[in-house]
Each structure stands twice: as structure tokens, then as C-alpha cells.
Structure 1
Amino acid sequence: MMSVYKIYIFLLTYFFLFPVSSYSYGLRFKGSNYSIDKRTSYRVFDKKVPVYNDYFDVQFDMALYPAVEIGYIVDIRGDYNEQAFNLFFDIRGEDVLFRLNQEGKSVLIALPVNKEDMTKNHWFKVKIAFDLKHNEVTLKIHNREKTRSGVYLSNSFKPSIVFGRSEHIIDIPSFAINSLSVNGDKKYIFPLNEAEGESVYDSVGKSYGKVENPEWLINEAFHWKKEYIFSSSSEAGSCYDENNSIIYYFNRDSIFSYNIENGSYEVKKTNGSCPMKLFLASGFFDSVNEKLYVYEVYHEPPYDNNPSIVSLDLKTLEWKIEGMHHLDMQLHHHDSYYDVQNGSYTIFGGFGNMYYSNRFYNLRTGVRDSSLNLKWNEITGLSGDRICPRYFSSVGYSPENNSIYIFGGMGNETGEHIVGKRYLHDLYRVNLKDNQINKLWELNGEPNIVPAHGMTILADSVFYVLQYRESVSRSHLHLYKFSINDGIYNVLGDSIPIISDKIRTNAHLYYNERRKRFFATVQETLDDISSTFTIYSLLYPPVSYSTYEKVKSRNNLPYTLIGGALGIVCVFGLGYIIRNKRKPKKYLNEESCIDELKSSKSVVKKEIEEKEARRTNAVYIFGNFTVYDNKGRDISYMFSLQIKQCFFLILYYSSFEGISSKELSDRLWPDKPKDKVKNSRGVALNHLRSLLNELDGIMLVYEKGFFRFVLSDTFYCDYLRCMELISNKLENPFREEFIKIISRGKFMTFLDNPLFDHFKDDVECKLEVVILEQMRSAFNNNDYHMTINFAKSEFNIDPINEEALSCCIKSYFNLKRENLAIVEYQRFMAEYLKGTGEEYPRPFTDFWC
């Protein structure tokens, strides 16, 4: 056994030597648009300032923000007044001018840098170097650099470095920094990866600096920020001008615009009303001609003679009829992409007239028919894999390989709505060069969710989509990052609420390269006429919940160290207890035995209450499948149906030696070709491992050809606890814990696959024996409330068990709740008719007379 002192050494090593994982997002400064006391100030060395000899430099990444105010970035000063320097920022037309000043004396370096080039990737590098030995100062901004010689510098410099507001500077712009380092004979690295608080830590977790009024950017990479809300009392639509970074929201008489780069917005009246009746109000933006195109692919009578395509000239704000051609069916929730270079707009899929579509239609703004009208043309000649009819799919275009990608949706193979729909989680690539369709992958067992419009492809290997449960009134959009190659995905950021009652409700995802942000628009309607239009943003790259929590935990480092110290004290205390345990016990008299028994029972009750209240590291399988991670957050939505199945199979067989790869594959992918099973299994297990990283006390291992879970007391599962209680004879107070577990609902109600029926039968057979036995015991002991609880739990297993009905009704009568007895009897009759096809023969009076 490890000695107490070895444990002590281990804890010291763990708490004090292991660094926290590093993520770099940055710190944003509140500028001159805030009152002076609200502006951000960051002192790099708040407690002890290092001394440099011969040389040191300050390097950091910097980003500018839409506000146009000018001001100072950083103040660097030594022990002497003449050794005070600051970096000033100004805008000069197309250039950004940086000036490194020797405070109160002169401008040492003026360095103009092209604004567009510098801000192309949002972040740019800054370096201020002091060569103390040769009296030189160097300023480097992005890809430009200048050196000034002949600056008097002492050989020893103790730099006080303050970004933003300081005792000497109050005029500061809106800017952000990250990846800060101070280099020389002593090197300090500050990732600026905090999520809250005023303390700033270096890369190994040691506190050095302090910041006032911080805005930690990682919060903007996790929480969607509400940018603006528009509303319209009539039918409205939206589109995005990617070139000018403007989101448009329009109706027949007005156009609302929001510039996502500087946060400005406008509302303008159009010259006259739109000549087309708006219904779905779909649209796209032609940035070359500065025209907004609005279309309706289908009009119900009496509007079927209306225009089908119109345009709004953004220069004159005049509407123009562009086409009269309609398709033969409505296409709700079709998706689309626009090829700016060729002026080509393509739509795919959709739902209408009780049918799903899998057709592609295209129109080109520069190609017109004999009447000079735009016309929809069906794209034919496609070959390869067939895409089944669907709507609610998401489409994205990749210029790198001139292909479009189609992901997910709802539909079926026939296209007929009457056949029913299924949720699709697949990805197709359509090569526009040879019109070849290739199915890349399909995920099975995923939750019933659909993607929103606007797939964002940022590299050849990944794409991003928003997904949500469209069948729920008050749903939530979540951002998913998918691998194009194999479908492995992560859920990123927090959620966006959406009311999805009406079919005209929709959401779009966009990405702005210059601001390094995703933008989501949510258009909601409650009456299919008026709507609200909300714009959200999320910093790129977005982070998952687990990453965000890890970063936040850095701010709790002092408390972790305190906890470590307390842990060490506990270890010594434990050693003391162990040593004293070895001493012979004194005999107890009868009175003390009774007191000990009472105390023991109270401890057991307390333990049960704590377990019932547990909301961390817990999985609940009775009733709704629910998972709480190590922070108490409900992460159930991250578990797809297939991952739930995989989790349960491994959990069930972990009581034995585990489950083999073959048996796992045969149960989850019985009809899949063997060459594809291995990849599907690998994807599922990797996803499961990723999710289990959010919980403590459970680990997936693979040993001797079997998968199983290794569990500790930190982890809780109601199914495992229930089996544990059954294996021991139930006694008070454990009976209360048992009834609370089974009262959550039916066992594994979330798994309807017949392959899992024998697992359910096995568990329910064990449960039923105990439930009926406990129900009888409770009834005989006049514990009518407990009798009713057990009877209702029995109905989860056998909805037409007459013994349970009898005990339940008689208990209600004994409790003077005759009305509830009648309700229970009526429920039972309905279940009996549903299960047997016959009327229940016994009258109500049989149970209470």
C-alpha cells in the first residue's frame, strides 16, 4: 500500500508542477467610447517587475475593432522619466499609422501600414524592441519594420508595461491583444487565455499581472452575442452581401441593412412597393450589380399570375420585375448557393404539395429568355449516387474543388410525404466540373435534428452548420463542426433559442473572414406574416463546452492550490485515522450500540439524499436519458441515438468481461458491409470517448479484445445503483431511494430498437419481482402513498397489471382521494383496449366494494 508520505509527495507534484492546458484567445480593451473609469487597463507586471540588461522586447498579436477612435496602445517606462515610451495608433486614409513616442520629447518612429493588408486576417503582429547596449529602438508592425538609433537607454531597464488606460494615458482605442511575451535574459509568455477575473497568468499558471475592466475574448468564442434585432409587420426575407459584409432584411416597402464589420445599420423605404406578392420571400444578393433578387418559386391561386423573380436596385431603391416563370410545386426550406463570379444561383430540395424534392434548379442573372426574363432551369445530366428527396438540408460551395456539398435534412426515398419522413445525417459532394455525385458518408442513430441554411466550408477538410430540433416549439440552435472525410463532429459554443412553430421560421449561418466571426440570423414568425429578425455573432475559432470550462478553471487556480493543501491535510488526517484504527476497540454498552445504530441510519439517509440530489458525473437511464457532466451541465443533447446505444451496450457488458468488437458491430450495424463497419465503429467510439471526457469516474478501456467501462465512486448511474439495490434485500431507507429511481419512468424508453428488447426484458423481469413484492408489503403495512408509487412503477413495465390496479385504487380510497382512483381506472381501461383490442370487463366497483 502506498504510504501517506508518498501520497503527500504525489499531491505536491500534481497541484504545483502540472501546468494547466493553454488556449490563446485574448483580451479586448474598452476604449474611449466608455467613461474613463470603465476603460480597460492591463499592468503586465503587477507585483514584481523584472530587470533587463542589454536587451528586451515586447511582442504581441493585435486586432482592431470597428470603432474609429484613435489613441494609445501601450505605455513602457523605466525608473527614469526620460525613459518613458508609448505606442500611438491613428488612421490615415487607407493606412494605419503607428507612432512610437518618447514621452514628452519626440516621435521616434512613424510607421504607416496598409490597413486592408494588415487586417486581412484580423490579427497582426507587433514588436517593440529595446537594444540597451547599442541605444536602438525597433518597431515592427505586421510586415513592416523600422529602427531608430541614438536613443539614450540605460544598460539596465526595469520596464513597467501597461496596455490601455494608465496613470499617464487615458485616450485609448478599441483593440485586442493576445499571445503576449516579454523577452530578453528573462522570458515571460502570457497567452491571455483567461475567461473571467482580473488576474493574468503566464503559460505555466503563475499570476503576474492585473487587468481592470477586462473583456476576455474566449467568452465571445463560446457565447453567441446578440448583435441586433429588426422586425416587420408584413412578410419579409433576408440575404447576405458577402463582399461588403452586409446582412439585409427586407419586405415589400422597406429594406433593413446591418454592417457586420462596423455594427452600423440603416432602414430605408423603397421607391414603391415590391410588384410581387411575398410568401417565402427567398433572396440572394448580386454584389457585382448591387442588386437584391427576391423570388417565389411557386404561387397559389389567385397569385399564380404574379411575377416570380424581382430585383431591388440598391442605388435607386427601385423594384424591377425580372421573371414570370414558376415551378410546378412549392419548395419550403430548400437550400441554395450563389456563384458570384458566374452570377449563377442554384437551389436544391424543398417540400410542397405533399412531396419532397431532390431536384436542382438554376438561374443566371446574365442569361434571359426571349422575353428578357430570368428563368429557372432544371439541372440534368447528373450521375453517380442518388440523393433522396428532402428538405431542411444545408448546402455549401467549395471553390477549391468546384464542388457543392449537401448535408442532412428530412425526407424519404419515394419523395411522397404520405410515406413518412426520416431524419437524414449524410453528406454528398456534387462535382460541378463533371456533374458527378458522390455520397461521402452517412451517420446512423443521430438525434432528430435538422441543419439550418448556410453550410460554411472554411477548409477542404471541415464544414460548419447550425442544427436544431425543428419539431419542438422552443428549440435551440447548436453549431456543429463536421469532418468532410468521415463525419466525426464536435458541438461548439453555447446555443441560440429559436421558436420553430411555423414553417416560415428559418435560420442562416454566415462567416466573415475579416472579423473572424460566425454570424447567425434567426427569423421567427408566430402568424406566418409578421416576423422578428435577430442577428448573433460568435468569435472564430469557436470552443466546445469542455474547452471553455478548462479555460475558466485557470481562474480558480488559487482555489485549486488551496484545495490541494486541504487535500494534503486530509491525507495526514487519514493516516492518523488509519493508525488509530489499528488500536483495539473498547467494548460498547447496549445504550451506545443503539445510539450508534441511530447515527448509522441517519448517515445512510444523508448519503441517499446526496445521491438523489447528485447532478454531476451522473447518467440516468430510467425515463429520459440524461447526462450531467463534472460541472453539473446537462449534456444529454450531445449523445446521439447511436452513441446512447453504444454507451448502454458497453455499460451492460461491463458487469461481465466486456463486449467484443464483433458483438458491438453486429448489434449496432447488423446490415452494414464489413468494410464500412470498422470506420463506423471507430467514429462512434471516438465520439463516445470525447463525451466521457466531460465526466469524472468513468473511462472506456479496450483489453483482451473487449470494450468495458472502468468506474469509480465519483460516477453515478441510476441503472447500476438500481441493480445494486435489487441484489441486496431492500430495507428502509433504501426502499425510498429505489422508488425514486424507478419513478423517473420506463427503463430505456429512449431505445425502441428490437435488438435491445431482451436487455429491457431482463431488467424489467428483475424489477417486476421486487416492485410487486414491495407494493404488497407497503399495502399490508398501510403505507398507501408508497403503494401507489410502486403500482405506478409497475405500470411502466406492465400497463395492464390488475394487481397493481387493485392496490392503487384501494390506496386512493383509503387516502380519501376517490377522484384519483376513478382517473386511474379510466387510464387502465384505455391501456387495456389499446393492448388487447377489447373492452376491460371488470367494473370499477369490483375494486373498492
Structure 2
Amino acid sequence: MAVWGDQFHPRSGATVSRGPDPNCIYIFGGLGNESGMQERGWRNFTGFWKFNRQTLELKKLHTFETLDSYQTISLGYADRINRFLLAISNKPNNNIPISVLSVHPETYEIENESTIPNSDHLEIGSLTKPFIGKKTGKLTVVTRKGDDASSGTLIQIHTINYPPMDPPPVKFTKLWGRYGFGFAALMVSLGIIGFRWKRNGEATEKQLGYVIAIDEDREDNPYLSHNFAIQCFGHFRLYKFGKELSPDDWVSKKARLLFIFIVLEGDGGVAPQRIRTEFWPDSPQKSAGNSRYVAMSQIRRMLNPFEGIILTQEHNIFLDYNEDHFSDFHYFMSVVRANSHGDISQMERALQLYDNGSLCDDINENWMDDIREDIRSKAKRLADNLSQSYQASDQWGKLGKLGQQVLRWDNLDDDGFHWAMIGLLNSHREAKAKSIYDTYTHYYSEVLDHPFEYSFIEIQAKYGKKV
């Protein structure tokens, strides 16, 4: 085949994708050198190429000079947004998480960039390219960890709200066919059609979603048994002397948000400049400082007589907890810091508080997204530690429940599915295992557009051998 065009040096590990022109394939990167002789060493190429399958022309379109430190790469193309999607995992010693870029197909400008939290130890998976889910509208990236045949390879599927996409609209006829008749029957039986007005800054329990179920017994309820308590998992709630304070008790919504921001920043505290960036980005420094002072004064009045919990050190603002205080987020983070050396019961308690994975779910600020992703990854590490303990001690019932909890965080979590199957099958709960299997494989085929590779009988043979 006689290929013509720009000079293309020999390489390995390049990533190839289709693109906006159906007659062309697009190529990025690869490992090699200009001479093609391995003994002269190699480097990462950063050129972006187009090969026309009809004219056999190979043309260099662009060079991404800043993307030269990658370990593995994967190039995809999303028709729906007409953008190339480039996933990059950096070299392990760089301690840099996986990056996901969207590239304009005409200007080759990198328009958006995001990272997958705590992915610096992962590589881009080769099973599928990054793509936008048809039904979820989310960017989906497959990663892998480990390549030793004796230890196996962990495949993980990450779905993130990037690039910004709205879920595909549901046709009214389809929506009515699914829910309409049941809804109509409900309205007839009630005989009521109500109109509900939402007050500014106020949300109902139903609108806010899941609420952590806590024991009503004051002695066993950490939020009620402490003089001052902060609940972050589920809705954000504040308690003084066992009584929950209403969001309406706050003088301003921004003061409440700022307090939540300080709580979630943890023991390290938050610098004034960071507060200005998140809360008053368009205000001059002096004006932003005055606004912060007013908001902090409102927070202290709200916390009275526990305003002493707020301290400042080297200009950083943080919370100093003592035995009269309780914060589920602070407790969770203290268990995370103990890592695998933590007490099993403490790790179980931390995940009990975290439950279905919601964190301040009544807060919709942009800065919450990264915090939620980070806490999710920390919860996953706790779950991994617990799973090892459960398997070592043959606690199959607990392992099955743990797997189901992790699947509530992410319907396609590979570990959650693995733990649920082992735990349930070795607890002789085949019917429950089959139900979990059906749900998991349904989501799997929807998101990845191809069926799950194992039948339930094969799963039984694979995971049901522990006892």
C-alpha cells in the first residue's frame, strides 16, 4: 500500500479512533523516535494525525506539546458533541490522576479538561474508548490496575459529568406509557390535584432525596447525644443540644454555604483566598474580605454557644472538635486516616454513616462535585479494607451486604459486584445473588452497549467455591 503525505515515524502504543470524517481514521501519540532504531531510545510522540482511507494520504493535523508525559492513552470520538475525547494516564511516579480532554475537531483546541480523582495508580483500559453514554449523557472511561496474570487485572468503569451534557430527553409518549396510567389511577383515588409552591431557598424532604436513617434512641444517636453535632451525609443538618436547627434559622444562605464549605475542608482548614475564589470571585479583595467577615460573624452567632469551635491558624479557618461535638464527616475522615490499621468496627461505623453515598445532597454548588468524588474514593478504600477482613474470616453475610452497598454508590462498580456475588452465593442466597446479577448486567449492557461476558451459571461456578 503506497501511503503518501507527511512523514510518519515508526512507533508503538499509538491510539486510533474514528472521527467526523467517515473516510478517515485519526491517530494520536505513540512511543518511538525519529530514526526508527530502538537502540537510540524512544520518547512519547504528541502528534495528532489523519489518515484518509480512500486517498491514502497521511496528514499531521496538530502537535500537543504539553501532553508528552503520558503512560497510556486512549482516543475516542463522540458524535453527539462532535468532539474527540482523549484519556491520558501519566507515568506512575508523577502522582498525577487520569486526565480526560475534549478536543475540537477543526481547531484541535483542548476545550475542557477534567481528572478522575485518586486515579494516579490506574492506567487507561484497552477494552473500550472514552465515549458519551447514549442514555446517561455522561462521559464513560474504562481503567485498569495490574497486568500480572497471577494476580489478575482490576477493570473499573468511571462515569463523570464531563464534558457538560444533558441526559437525552425522554419522549412524552414513552414517559406516559411507563408511568401515566399508574399516575392517573393515583390521582383518581385521591381525588386531589394539588399545586405546590417552593419557597426561595427551601426544599422539602422529598426534593432533597435520601436522608440517613439514625436511631431515635438518644443514647445511640450521635447527632442527639452530643451537645453540638453536624450531619453531612444525607442532607446537611446542624444540631444544638439534641435539637435540629432549620435552614431558615440562618441569617443568609451564603453564610450557611460557607460554614458547610469550612466543615468539608477538614482539619487542614481553608485559606481566605480560597474562600474568595469560591464565594466572591468577582469582588475586589477588600470587598470580598468584608463580605467574609460579615458571613463569619453570622456563622458564629448561629453556632452560639459553640462558636469557639471555629479557630484560625496562619489565616486558615478550621473547626476544632472536642468530646462535646460530633461530625459524621469528621468521624469518617478520622477513620480514613487510620487506613488499614483502623478498627474494623470503626470502619463499619464510618460506612454506616456514609450509607448510600450522598454527601450534603441538598447543596448544589460546583465546589461540591470534587469533594463528593474524593469522599467516594475514600469510602471505596474503606470498603476494600473491610472486604479483605470479611473474606479472611469467612464473614460472607457481611461481605454480601458490603458489595450491595458499594453497588448503590455505583451501579457498575466491579468490586461491589464481585463482593456481592461471593458473599451472597457463599451465604446460600442464590435468589438474591441472581437479582443483583440481573440488575448489574442490565446497567452494564446499557452503558457499554454490549452484553456482560458471564452467565449467572458461570458466576456461580466462579464465586461459589469459598465454603
TM-score, length-normalised on structure 1? 0.26
More strand by share: 1
TM-score, length-normalised on structure 2? 0.45
**In terms of Rg, which structure is larger?**
1
More helix by share: 2
